[in-house]
Amino acid sequence: MYQYSQADHQLLQERVAQFRDQVQRRLNGDLSEDEFKQQRLRNGLYLQIHAYMLRVAVPYGLMSSEQMRTLAHIARKYDRGYGHFSTRQNIQYNWPKLEDVPQILDDLAKVEMHAIQTSGNCIRNTTSDPLAGVARDEIADPRPYCELIRQWSTFHPEFNFLPRKFKIAVSGAINDRAAVAVHDIGLRLVKNDAGELGLEVYVGGGLGRTPMIGKLIRKFLPTHDMLTYLEAILRVYNQLGRRDNLYKARIKILVHETGEEKFRELVEAEWNEIKKTGLALTDADIEAIQAHFKDPDYETLSDFDEDFDAHLLANAEFAKWAEKNVELHKKDGYRVVYLSLKSRNQPAGDVTADQMDAIADLADKYSLSAIRSTHRQNLVLSDVKLKDLYELWQELKALDLATPNYNHLTDLISCPGMDYCSLATARSIPIAQALTERFDSYDYINDLGDISLNISGCINACGHHHVANIGILGVNKKGVEVYQLTLGGSARDDASIGKIIGPAFTADEIVDAVATVLDVYLDQREDEEEGFLTTYRRIGQEPFKEKLYG
Ligand code: HEM
Ligand code: SF4
């Protein structure tokens, strides 16, 4: 894990002192809320329906157990005893008091965390694969590249006030687990025919009211050129991105309006000017960062454990969990464990302070003191020994973190919606909970297999409904909250935007509507192997429409 340098520490301390002063001036009334806005947005602080909301950056979703304990402490001391993990791997607090925020940032700084660049029109926290460094299908570890991007983008003077926010994701594996296709820039580490490592560069993906899949503008960029190329893209965007219309300000609109070919030419021309500058990465630059992400001292273990197998046979509940929430690790005898934040007792992505403390203890005991957050709002213990799985499962079950549903129907993504968010047009948490209760049967969701169900409380699409196999969008129609269904979206390698199926449903109808969609799938699939998306793409919308609207 990256360890802060003295300069990093100083940077944070200075920032905390500066914000403490700004908050004091707001509290004194020297600054109006409007004047304060730009300052708070540079420190992750939003103003929501009931209170401020603080978004804390979790760089590429990686946390130490010590950091997790600080997050628990903040939830307990300054908030209402819980936090919410977002799809961009960050954590949000919904109830901080303005006067406490400088101290929260001070507490975070002590464990090398902050809330910088988690809001506002800047380059946001870079996201990545939650299995980085341990995945069996990995081409190269993306974390050093994320860290290089973090260092380059933090307080980059030229990109402090972009036309709009800017999100970057990096994936280093064959299977995309970081949704790179729906980011402003998505980077995928690949090897060329000569076996050299480089990057595929996708630009102009995004969700919101105009969802778009990113365009591949460079098939192979040597890793040494990563920062100069990013700088070139950001320069073109900063100069030409639309500042006249908030809804057209994201880079996806610029790429779309300029045309892919012309946009590529503009970037390449800019890049030619700067590619030989000091921003070009040397081997030494890359190796210095890679040194922070070396493999830990894994033990040499067998990939077979007699006790584990015996527990699988003796305990059906454990076997279900092991099948759904445990994944292979690149090292024999180790496994990756998903901690489901999608039990029926808590809103999706929420985690209590007590759970956070307990997770930190479990990470110390079983998984080299590290925890990761995922794009689908779950947590991961990445280095658990096969022989410890049964014991770990018992502890997770007691904490309500062992719902066996990873990548299944009830592992749904949901934004906070009208319960917290000032932009919401409908509630999403109660709908998510109604769905989780309705589809609580393990056998049923197991039969459905790998499927995604996402919910957003307004067209901004924080809940990624556009790229779910089944998406739900809450809208307000003449004062009534109604829910539109979209089908056929995907955030993976075969990324696609879902299509609206027809007129919206009321809050009372939407759960039945989802059940109907699932019935059609189960009825029409060729066999149990054919997943929802494949069936949908084969049969199209008609059979679903017919059953839903008669
Ligand atoms: C509660 C306060 C929040 C506010 C005010 C807010 C605001 C917004 C807005 C305005 C957009 C649309 C941006 C655009 O199209 O240009 C957006 C997009 C997005 N937000 Fe949020 N959001 C909030 C919470 C969240 C949460 C909790 C998550 C994760 C669960 C999240 C993740 C995202 C993602 C992934 C997108 C779409 C990707 C993109 O195109 O940028 N946001 N948000
Ligand atoms: S999708 Fe809308 S309601 Fe949900 S968090 Fe984003 S802005 Fe708020």
Segment holding 326, helix H or strand E: strand 326-328
For residue 461 and ligand 1, the question of a CB distance below 6 A is answered with yes
Ligand 2 neighbourhood includes 462 CB (under 6 angstroms):
yes
Counting residues of the chain whose pLDDT is more than 70, the rounded percentage is 100
Q: Ligand 2: which of 460, 465, 472 to mutate, most ligand atoms within 8 Å of CB?
A: 460
pLDDT tens readout for residues 200-225: 999 999 999 999 999 999 999 999 99
* pLDDT of 183 over the 90 cut: yes
- Would you state the pLDDT for residue 404? 96
Q: Strand 127-128 relative to strand 168-171: parallel, antiparallel, unpaired? A: parallel
> What's the mean pLDDT in 271-292?
97
Q: Is the CB of residue 88 below 6 angstroms from any atom belonging to ligand 1? A: yes
The residues, any chain, with a CB within 8 Å of residue 27's CB and separated by 6 or more, are 98, 99
Residues 349-362 have pLDDT tens digits of 999 999 999 999 99
Task: Name the residue of 459, 460, 466 to mutate for ligand 1: max ligand atoms within 8 A of Cβ.
Answer: 460
Per-residue pLDDT, 29: 96
**The predicted structure's pLDDT at residue 1:** 87
pLDDT tens-digit series, residues 386-416: 999 999 999 999 999 999 999 999 999 999 9
Ligand 1 atom 12, closest CA: 460
Q: For residue 443, what are its two tokens?
A: 């056998």
421 Cα nearest atom in ligand 2 = 8
State residue 51's pLDDT score: 87
Decide whether any atom of ligand 2 lies within 6 Å of the 417 Cβ: yes
State the pLDDT at residue 50: 82
Q: Which atom of ligand 2 is nearest to the CA of 458?
A: 2
In tens, the pLDDT along 453-473 reads 999 999 999 999 999 999 999
Ligand 2 pocket check for 421: Cβ under 6 Å = yes
pLDDT band for position 420 (50/70/90)? confident
User: What integer pLDDT is reported at residue 310 of this predicted model?
Assistant: 98
Q: What is the pTM of this model?
A: 0.94
State if residue 457 touches ligand 2 by the CB under 6 angstroms criterion. yes
Instruction: Specify the 3-state DSSP secondary structure of 380.
Output: strand
Going by alpha carbons, the residue nearest to atom 2 of ligand 2 is 458
Is 342 touching ligand 1 by the criterion CB < 6 Å? no
Distance 71 CA to ligand 2 centre (A): 23
Phi, psi of 220 (to 5 degrees): -150, 110
Pairwise CA distance, residues 500 & 80, whole Å: 37
One-letter identity of residue 380 = V
Tell me the three state secondary structure of residue 180.
helix
